[in-house]
Structure 1
Amino acid sequence: MPINKAWLFLLLAASGFARAEVPMADMQDEIPAQPKAANLDYFKPRELSEIPKGAFGDKIRKGYQLFVNSQQLSGQYVGNQLNCTNCHLDAGSKAYAAPMWAAYLAYPEFRKKNNRISNFAERVQGCFNFSMNGKAPAIDSPELVAISAYSYWLLMGGLLDAFGMQDQPVPEMSDKALQEGGNVASFKLPGPLTDKVKLDARGHMPGRAFAALDKPAQAPSPARGAKVYEQHCALCHGSEGQGRVMADVPVIPALWGAQSYNWGAGMHRVNTAATFIFENMPLGKAVQLTPQQAWDVAAYMNSRERPQDPRFTKDVATTAKTFHADDNGYYGKELDGSVLGSQAFPATRVK
């Protein structure tokens, strides 16, 4: 597979950029959206059939299984009806849908959300606590090791193939190293990138997180968004955002309510949801809505009650001031005569 020189240039050029200084008041880390690269054929993870046999391959397979069917952890670590792949589309492989290959290369990274440097496994713990409205598995648990192994395999297998090393197996790593992530000096990139890409470049891989979306001409409107939702979203996600369950198996994620992500999840931000929706929804079609429609429907679904922020203190006002100041969300704000968060569902649904 030919190397995409534009990607290589972007990755190398980014190594000279200093990380922007950002205020820490709200403790809500947000991965900045980036302009969409013109050509994303540069990177494709290996086929699942290429996962090796043996103990290392078993960890990778387990990580994939947990990723696409996180509900097998329901009641233990997962407290809603979501699966990891609901936000990280195509089993974590789709560019600009929070792909795990790009995330793996970016961590360890400083996170405002917990005000310290987090490694990759710790970042995944955050997904369990917030997006899954659950309770994170412990570091070194089989679940975190497996998800880390799967994400590492997506990255390294794709990179080896991109640099003409299709016959080279993905190097095995210890459980501890797998959970660390790729943004450490000890993590060696293959081929021409070996020892050439500085650490600061690894968080700028094209395709990471979400594609930038222009601000709307009009301020996002939940009222307008309700109409967009009815026309474009309700068929799959349900008239009340409850998602779809078939034979007791969740098949379409709930967007609000007791079975959705909680008020601490990154997707509760209107801007984050808008970029995701515009780029990826309706599922399988993509870029069907106008930017204004994406902003409006994001405002609508994120102005509905959902599970409480697990960092909830003594009241909504204090929690909003501490964790949600200027976070582009509705938590603690009054809408239709009610303060959002005041009637939130339980913060976690697992023991």
Structure 2
Amino acid sequence: MLAIIVLVGGLGAGGYFGYMWLRDAITPDDYTGLGSGQVQVEIKDGQSATDVAQTLQDQGVVKSAKAFANAVASAGKSSSLQPGEYTMRKQMSAAEAVKLLDPDKRVRENVTLKEGLRLSDTLAQLAKQTGKPLKEFQQVAKSGKGLGLPPYAKGKLEGYAFPATYEITPKMGPAEILTAMVDRFNQTANKDDLQEKAKALGHTSHEIMTIASIVQAESGNKSDMGKVARVIYNRLDSTPPRKLEMDSTLMYGLNKYGVEASNADLESTSPYNTYKYLGLPPGPIANPGDDAIQAALNPTKGSWFFFVTTDTKRRITKFATTEAEFLQLKAEYERNKAAGG
């Protein structure tokens, strides 16, 4: 009896220590707690949870890749890891590391570019908001190569850097950022069926984008855009053709800003001086948004040849068919201007 008790006790002790050894062998090494310090970790496009686990181990975030693999599987997030940069801590538990890899915690910055900015102003805004050198943006824009510009842009970025809000990560350089903007333009052009509709209107896609940029620059409100577009078409299609006489194009050629050209401005020999030359200027004068592109493709029906922003503060624009009506609107503008409106 004593021998049996001793044998059973021995087996029990051996089983216990065997279990403890097996548990330690199966359970991967892991840190405890939240960790300390900071380290930037990048999840690259196409990486699996196993790849990410190894990256975290290599950078000293988790103690073992296996611990992270177990933690992310336990949390049900193996397939939800998203590319981007994340701020992690050194020597943190695998479970805490999983929490910091939430897509909403990616290191990123939203950069918003409003409609109607000239390319020079767009580049300045990008440099300011991203902290990257303006000169680098200018060099990439001037080259135009590798940005995915459509053939009808003729290598020029003006008009095709689509205004929107973009998610910028620290590793994105000027070329990558500008490419994203051109990609967004191409998506919009496809959605709007730009090339086919331009052809139906008797214009090239580049001409439509030029018209859209003028519409964007000249319109005080979205509701005016279709009418402004109609004025442009009426002038282009009149017999004999009439000059566009747009201050926005003239100012662009002079690299100036303003809503009223001086007599000296009108003498400019720039090809953007639509007071001097018939037809459209050589290309877009700004980066129009989708509303302006839609207006250029679908102008409002009407017989207007003139428009005047009679109240610049309230952005009130009125339209006229005859020169007599135009002169009345111009007089209204002068009165409002004198009254501070």
TM over 0.5: no
Larger RCO: 1 or 2 (CA < 8 Å, sep 6+): 1
TM-score by length of 2: 0.27
**Structure with the higher strand share, 1 or 2:** 2
Higher helix share: 2
Point out the structure with max Rg over C-alpha: 2
Q: What TM-score, normalized to structure 1?
A: 0.27
